[in-house]
């Protein structure tokens, strides 16, 4: 009963406001039916914007090896890439034998499904929070390697992104440490876990 009355109140308020001024909110504006806010609508953590490539700060190179798994699995075939031999591997500074030479995504064709992120074995591609990349010409939203890395670096900086494989290793080590502490506590209490 109370929820029905709340719904009716929202409907009445929006109707009265609609008689005085338009209720349609223009894009960057935010707020509710009851009030307008000047700050833009915040992007949620799980928001999936356009894909971007990530940068490995430890080795100072992209995570992408251009293995083309993401390209083969893409339902719209909006990506293309070329690989090259990694010069840092020859110097012994990197474990990656191959590295991306060119990478391009046609964002007009991308459907933001996230399959490329799921199939990547190297944590090289993420769904960034970037969503304002419209243009007036058809080929203006083809983004190449430098721009993809720039978008990815911005995403990493803003979200404190940690590669999922490194996060899983840290969680496993933390749970193993907690398990060791629990065994030590039970041994100190004089009981054996069964």
pLDDT tens digits, residue range 76-100?
999 999 999 999 998 998 889 999 9
Distance CA 194, CA 157 (A): 46
Q: Hey, which bits of the chain come out as E strands?
A: 30-32, 35-37, 51-53, 55-56, 61-62, 79-85, 98-106, 125-127, 142-143
Residue 62 lies in a domain: yes
More reliable by pLDDT, 56 or 37? 56
Query: Residue 186: which H helix or E strand, with range?
Result: helix 164-189
39 pLDDT higher than 90: no
Domain that holds residue 25: 2-37
Same domain? For 79 and 143 the reply is: yes
Residue 57 lies in a domain: yes
Same domain? For 161 and 128 the reply is: yes
Same domain? For 25 and 58 the reply is: no
Give the closest residue to 51 by CA, choosing from 135, 117, 108, 99: 117
Residue 45 lies in a domain: no
Same domain? For 32 and 64 the reply is: no
Taking only the tens place, the pLDDT of each residue in 41-82 is 677 888 899 999 999 988 899 999 999 999 999 999 999 999
Residue 157 lies in a domain: yes
Residue 107 lies in a domain: yes
Percent of the chain with pLDDT over 90: 47
Same domain? For 59 and 153 the reply is: yes
| The pLDDT of residue 126 | 95
Same domain? For 64 and 27 the reply is: no
Same domain? For 70 and 135 the reply is: yes
Same domain? For 148 and 101 the reply is: yes
Same domain? For 82 and 113 the reply is: yes
Taking only the tens place, the pLDDT of each residue in 161-191 is 988 888 888 888 888 888 777 666 666 666 5
Residue 175 lies in a domain: no
Same domain? For 17 and 64 the reply is: no
Same domain? For 86 and 126 the reply is: yes
Distance CA 36, CA 141 (A): 32
Residue 190 lies in a domain: no
- What are the structure tokens assigned to 91, written together? 């110097």
| The pLDDT of residue 45 | 83
- Beta carbons of 127 and 112 less than 8 angstroms apart: yes
Query: Residue 10: which H helix or E strand, with range?
Result: helix 2-20
194 pLDDT higher than 60: no
Helix, strand, coil in percent for the chain, rounding step 5 = 40, 20, 40
Same domain? For 76 and 29 the reply is: no
| The pLDDT of residue 42 | 72
Taking only the tens place, the pLDDT of each residue in 121-155 is 999 999 999 988 888 888 888 999 999 999 999 99
CATH number at residue 69: 3.30.70.3270
Give the closest residue to 78 by CA, choosing from 46, 100, 51: 51
Domain count, the chain: 2
């Amino acid at each position: 009963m109370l929820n029905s009355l709340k719904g009716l109140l929202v409907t009445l308020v929006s109707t009265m406001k609609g008689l005085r001024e338009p209720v349609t909110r223009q894009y960057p504006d935010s707020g509710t039916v009851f009030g307008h806010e000047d700050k833009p609508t915040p992007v949620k953590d799980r928001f999936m914007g356009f894909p971007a490539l990530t940068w490995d700060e430890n080795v100072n190179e992209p995570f992408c090896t251009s293995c083309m798994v993401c390209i083969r699995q893409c339902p719209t075939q909006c990506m293309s890439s070329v690989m090259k031999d990694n010069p840092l591997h020859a110097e012994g500074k990197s474990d990656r034998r191959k590295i991306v030479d060119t990478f391009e995504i046609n964002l007009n064709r991308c459907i933001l499904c996230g399959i490329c992120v799921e199939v990547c074995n190297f944590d090289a591609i993420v769904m960034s929070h970037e969503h304002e990349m419209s243009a007036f010409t058809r080929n203006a939203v083809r983004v190449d390697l430098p721009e993809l890395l720039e978008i990815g670096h911005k995403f990493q900086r803003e979200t404190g992104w940690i590669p999922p494989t490194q996060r899983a290793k840290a969680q496993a080590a933390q749970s193993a440490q907690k398990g060791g502490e629990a065994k030590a506590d039970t041994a100190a209490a004089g009981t054996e876990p069964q």
